[in-house]
């Protein structure tokens, strides 16, 4: 026992000496040792070898409950939705689980790439869900909920069965079934240093030819006419003076020598007050109040699911305003509690904003959702 105590004491002394050494460098007085509690609070990363993975477990069934409450409104009931973010699930097969290579990645005609088609390491899913999900309340899931949601996601991809309980004990088995686990390569010259690959030569090798280098070039790709104004009026995206002005893309493209220049100089002669319009938003009636409300919508990530005048995951603000005009109290309650069924099956989760803030947004909606 006394030998044990001695050993502990000795270890403590050694640690203290080590610490002292670390501190007595060129910069005395700068920085202090982190406490174990502090390190535990922040050191949340989980590596591909599962270093950092906390003990715990979660079933597919529990994961489905969490999913439908906190994940489905962005990612879809089956992780298939591409309305807000890229789809998570789809494009993988039982054969891929055997080979560890997702076959559809070699098919250029397959639309899009889902998370499960790409990710090679299950640790990545666990780590990311734990640190950054849900989107508007990151780090709010318990450890077991993270296991459960990960299990549900894997189940959607057919990687684990319906009755699976994912845990720190069996997660290695899952790694061995990841559909794209053999789908990565580090054989390239785009990492500085020798850690991954000996390849140092870039994969293209152009030469700086100066004269008669190519045959007559042909234009192979350009924007179609109908996309002319798709990025807004380019005349308003260029400085009003300069060697070139912006093209007025609200009008069809002028043809013939010098024709665009004529149009552009006309555009440039529009008074500066008019030019400045895109920067200074026109305040509508009650503009200041609306601005504060719009800030709230952004602050609480309402805009992640609701757009002003088109349907995203949820209905547009304008549509809500039409349907529930004047019903501020009802709307305030709905904002706080969430719900589903009024606009479709995708639920809106309860929101953690203050009563006063909910009322502000509700009043704005009830009054017509003005900009």
Partner 1 sequence: MQDNLSSGRIRKAPENFLSRDGIQTVVAEAKQGRRNFIRNAFAAAAAGAAGTSVLAQGNPVPSEGGDPNILNLPEHSTGLGQGVAADGGYGKPSRFEANVQRRQSPGLTQTTQASVSFAPLQSLFGIITPSGLHFERHHQGWWDIDPSKHRLMVNGMVKAAKVFTMDEIMRLPSVSRIHFIECGANTAVEWGNVAVPTVQYTHGMVSCSEFTGVPLITLLELAGADLKKGKFVLAEGADGSSMTRTIPMELITSGEVIVAYGQNGEMLRPEQGYPLRLVVPGVQGVSWVKYLRRIEVGDMPYAAKDEAVHYIDLQPSGLHRQYTSIQECKSVVTTPSGGQVLLDKGFYNISGLAWSGRGKVKHVDVSVDGGRNWRRARLESPVATKALTRFNLDWVWDGKPAIIQSRATDETGYVQPTYKQLRAVRGTRSIYHNNAIQSWLVQESGEVKNVQVS
339: left (phi over 0), alpha (psi -120 to 50) or beta: left
Residues composing the chain = 371
**Alpha-carbon gap, residue 173 to 151, rounded angstroms:** 12
For partner 1, give the closer residue by CB, 254 or 368: 254
* By CB under 8 A, residue 24 contacts partner 1: no
Applying CB under 8 A, the span of 53-61, 207-215, 316-324, 357-365 interacting with partner 1 comes to: 207-215
Applying CB under 8 A, the span of 96-104, 152-160, 284-292, 352-360 interacting with partner 1 comes to: 96-104
Applying CB under 8 A, the span of 57-65, 105-113, 153-161, 353-361 interacting with partner 1 comes to: 105-113
User: How many other CB atoms are found less than 10 A from the CB of residue 236?
Assistant: 19
Backbone angles phi, psi at 295, to 5 degrees: -65, -40
Nearest partner of 88 among 108, 109, 48, 118, judged by Cα: 118
Which residue's structure tokens are 């079933």?
59
Binding residues for partner 1 restricted to 224-283, rule: CB under 8 A: 227-228, 230-232, 234, 236-240, 242-247, 249, 253-266, 269, 272, 275-280
For partner 1, give the closer residue by CB, 131 or 336: 131
* By CB under 8 A, residue 93 contacts partner 1: no
* Binding residue for partner 1, selected from 304, 318, 348, 362, defined by CB under 8 A: 304
* Binding residue for partner 1, selected from 94, 161, 205, 345, defined by CB under 8 A: 205
For partner 1, give the closer residue by CB, 33 or 170: 33
- The structure tokens listed for 284 are 């509508």
User: How many other CB atoms are found less than 10 A from the CB of residue 60?
Assistant: 23
* Binding residue for partner 1, selected from 188, 251, 291, 323, defined by CB under 8 A: 188
* Residues whose CB is less than 8 angstroms from the CB of residue 101 and which lie 6 or more positions away in sequence, other chains included: 179, 180, 182, 183
Applying CB under 8 A, the span of 4-12, 115-123, 142-150, 152-160 interacting with partner 1 comes to: 115-123
* Binding residue for partner 1, selected from 113, 177, 311, 327, defined by CB under 8 A: 113
**Alpha-carbon gap, residue 146 to 140, rounded angstroms:** 10
Shortest distance, position 51 Cβ to partner 1, whole Å? 8
User: How many other CB atoms are found less than 10 A from the CB of residue 334?
Assistant: 20
**Alpha-carbon gap, residue 177 to 99, rounded angstroms:** 9
**Total residues contacting partner 1 (rule CB under 8 A)?**
129
- The structure tokens listed for 348 are 């809106």
* By CB under 8 A, residue 204 contacts partner 1: yes
Binding residues for partner 1 restricted to 309-328, rule: CB under 8 A: 312
Q: Cβ distance 66 to 141 under 8 Å?
A: yes
* Binding residue for partner 1, selected from 1, 4, 195, 355, defined by CB under 8 A: 195
**Alpha-carbon gap, residue 153 to 183, rounded angstroms:** 19
* Binding residue for partner 1, selected from 207, 285, 288, 356, defined by CB under 8 A: 207
């Amino acid at each position: 026992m006394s030998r044990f105590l001695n050993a502990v004491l000795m270890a403590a002394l050694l640690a203290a000496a080590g610490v002292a050494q670390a501190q007595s460098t060129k910069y005395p007085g700068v920085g202090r040792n982190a406490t174990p509690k502090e390190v535990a609070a922040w050191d949340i990363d989980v590596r591909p070898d599962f270093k950092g993975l906390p003990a715990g477990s979660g079933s597919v069934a529990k994961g489905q409950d969490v999913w439908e409450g906190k994940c489905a409104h962005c990612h879809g009931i089956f992780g298939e939705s591409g309305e807000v973010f890229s789809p998570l699930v789809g494009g993988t097969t039982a054969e891929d689980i055997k080979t560890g290579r997702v076959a559809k990645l070699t098919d250029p005609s397959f639309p899009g790439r889902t998370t499960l088609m790409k990710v090679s390491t299950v640790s990545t899913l666990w780590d990311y869900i734990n640190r950054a999900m849900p989107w508007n309340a990151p780090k709010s899931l318990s450890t077991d909920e993270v296991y459960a949601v990960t299990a549900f996601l894997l189940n959607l991809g057919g990687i684990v069965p319906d009755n699976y309980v994912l845990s720190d004990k069996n997660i290695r088995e899952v790694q061995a079934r990841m559909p794209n686990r053999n789908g990565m390569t580090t054989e390239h010259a785009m990492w500085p240093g020798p850690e991954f690959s000996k390849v140092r030569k870039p994969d293209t090798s152009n030469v700086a030819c100066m004269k008669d280098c190519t045959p007559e070039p042909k234009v192979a790709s350009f924007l179609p006419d109908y996309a002319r104004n798709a990025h807004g009026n380019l005349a308003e995206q260029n400085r009003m003076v300069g060697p070139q002005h912006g093209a007025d893309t609200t009008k069809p493209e002028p043809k013939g020598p010098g024709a665009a220049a004529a149009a552009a100089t006309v555009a440039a002669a529009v008074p500066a007050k008019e030019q400045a319009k895109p920067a200074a938003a026109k305040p509508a009636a009650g503009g200041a109040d609306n601005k504060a409300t719009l800030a709230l919508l952004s602050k609480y990530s309402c805009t992640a699911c609701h757009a002003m005048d088109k349907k995203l995951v949820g209905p547009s603000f304008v549509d809500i305003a039409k349907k529930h005009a004047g019903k501020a109290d009802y709307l305030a309650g709905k904002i706080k509690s969430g719900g589903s069924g009024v606009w479709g099956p995708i639920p809106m989760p309860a929101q953690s904003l203050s009563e006063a803030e909910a009322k502000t947004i509700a009043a704005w909606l009830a009054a017509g959702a003005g900009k």
